[in-house]
Amino acid sequence: MQSTPILIAVYVLPLLTASLGWAWHHGARSRRNRATLARNRAAGLAEPPALHPRIDPARCIGCGACVRACPEADVIGLIGRTATLIAPWACVGHGVCRDACPTQAISLVFGTTTQGLVVPVLGPGGETSVAGVYVAGELGGQALIANAIDQGRATIDHIAAALRADPAPADEGRYDVVIVGCGPAGLSAALGAMGHGLRHVALDQASLGGSIAHYPRGKLVMTARAHLPVFGPVQLGTISKEGLLAFWQGVLDQTGLAPRFGERVDRIERDADGFVVVSDQARYRTRRIVLALGRGGSPRRLNIPGEDLAKVVYRLTDPGQYAGQRVMVVGSGDSAVEAALAVARVAGTTVTLVHRARDLARASADNRAAVRALASTGGLRVLPAARPTAIAPASVTVTTPDGPMAIPNDTVIICAGGTIPRDWLAQIGIALETRHGHPGPDNRA
């Protein structure tokens, strides 16, 4: 029979070593995640932008399945034995954390108790308070490409069923549905209308891809699995902006869908049998309308003198057009950082990135690293805790911790996000509500 010391050496000591190692690792991980959450709170980044997970600590068992499933880096982390949203600002509402949770401790919600999210009041199928007018995609809180595709398809399915149940007299001059906006939700809705045989037209004031078309060159976009009507399954994974736009063009070529780009919708009117959509080019009589708009319909302004000068823009289209110019980019999120990096890489440019926060916590880790690398070589000037106070034809006045300074300038790119087009929606009569932790959609099969 083996002696007690031998048993201890063979069995107890390895178990004790493993337990102590696990406890140390668990404690270090919790301390790191607490520090990340504290930094984000101190930087004013404690609120998620839209759809996000709410974690029930009574159900959470601390298994970490949600952490491993999340495709974004360091959004969810374990603090103690409870999963916590440690980088709320970076959450984009994929919902894979909810699907991975074995105890159903996670639900998806809009808004928080302290910061609400303004969205249209929606009924079945995404119908607004104006009967016959529907919302799909980002305007209703569905920011992700896959979710927007699914919602666009579901909205058209609902409309097709309603039209079948309420047939109208033949009218060659009236559409069954007009779709406003040709991002992922709008294109999915238009393809759905094609599949159902509905007389339809899709309009967009910009070009193919919606807001994606204005991302900087080479920006990576992540898409989950989805299903496009008429076209079929979509499973792209991580893809560049250019690759995604090429995919959408291929969808149009393969299906024959022909949206009308470069046509802005000015207003929506009622008539005896439905609506009239009035664009800057034509009038469209229709029975139903789908608003597949982005939430950034109106760029967020700085409200400072000189902001109306022609040199001030609110999105980056082609970085190459700024060759040889002195450019200021305003903002602290990924859109601002990526714009600054893209322009700074153009020969002959002098770029200054101005942001109010003390650091670029809202930007991704890769973008922060790229900024540090470029700034260290003098290729990019970064002014933290600063804000522009006046824009002149050849300069911009910026308030910094060291006092005001005038910076020579040819172009200002403001990447401060956008605001929901409330006035435009109010003119139509669409009711809005502010959601504080309201449940989001459950798209699980």
What CA–CA distances, in Å, run from 93 to 135, 148, 278, 352? 18, 12, 34, 32
- In this prediction, residue 328 has a pLDDT band, given cuts at 50, 70 and 90, of very high
Structure confidence at residue 444 (pLDDT): 43
Structure confidence at residue 443 (pLDDT): 45
User: In terms of C-beta density within 10 A (0-12 exposed, 13-18 middle, 19 or more buried), how is residue 169 classed?
Assistant: exposed
CA distance 244 to 246: 5
CA distance 107 to 118: 19
Q: Produce one character per residue of 245-256: b if its CB has 16 or more CB atoms within 10 Å, e if not.
A: beebeebbeebe
Amino acid at 87: A
Structure confidence at residue 230 (pLDDT): 93
Structure confidence at residue 107 (pLDDT): 87
Q: How many other CB atoms sit within 10 Å of the CB of residue 11?
A: 10
Q: Higher confidence at residue 297 or residue 264?
A: 264
User: In terms of C-beta density within 10 A (0-12 exposed, 13-18 middle, 19 or more buried), how is residue 35 classed?
Assistant: exposed
Length of the chain: 445
CA distance 223 to 214: 17
Closest CA to 80 of 108, 101, 60: 60
Tens-digit pLDDT profile for residues 344-377: 988 899 999 999 888 887 787 788 889 999 999 9
Q: Higher confidence at residue 320 or residue 19?
A: 320
Tens-digit pLDDT profile for residues 184-230: 899 999 999 999 999 999 999 877 866 666 555 555 565 667 889 99
Mean pLDDT of the chain: 83
Tens-digit pLDDT profile for residues 110-150: 766 666 667 788 888 899 999 999 999 877 766 677 788 88
Report the helix count and the strand count for the chain, using DSSP H and E: 10, 28
Closest CA to 340 of 368, 311, 310, 304: 368
CATH numbers and ranges of domains, the chain: 4-109 (3.30.70.20), 118-297+420-439 (3.50.50.60), 299-417 (3.50.50.60)
Structure confidence at residue 296 (pLDDT): 57
Structure confidence at residue 207 (pLDDT): 77
Tens-digit pLDDT profile for residues 272-319: 889 999 999 999 999 999 999 876 555 778 889 999 898 998 878 778
pLDDT at residue 232 greater than cutoff 50: yes
Angle at 137 between CA 161 and CA 430, to 5 degrees: 75
Q: Do residues 195 and 176 lie in contact, with contact meaning Cβ atoms separated by under 8 Å? A: no
And the tokens for 121? 């009041």
The arithmetic mean of pLDDT across residues 57-70, rounded, is 90
Q: Higher confidence at residue 74 or residue 200?
A: 200
DSSP-derived 3-state class of residue 405: strand
| C-alpha of 23 from chain center | 37
Q: Higher confidence at residue 167 or residue 403?
A: 403
Q: What is the reported pTM?
A: 0.66
CA distance 186 to 412: 31
Structure confidence at residue 74 (pLDDT): 78
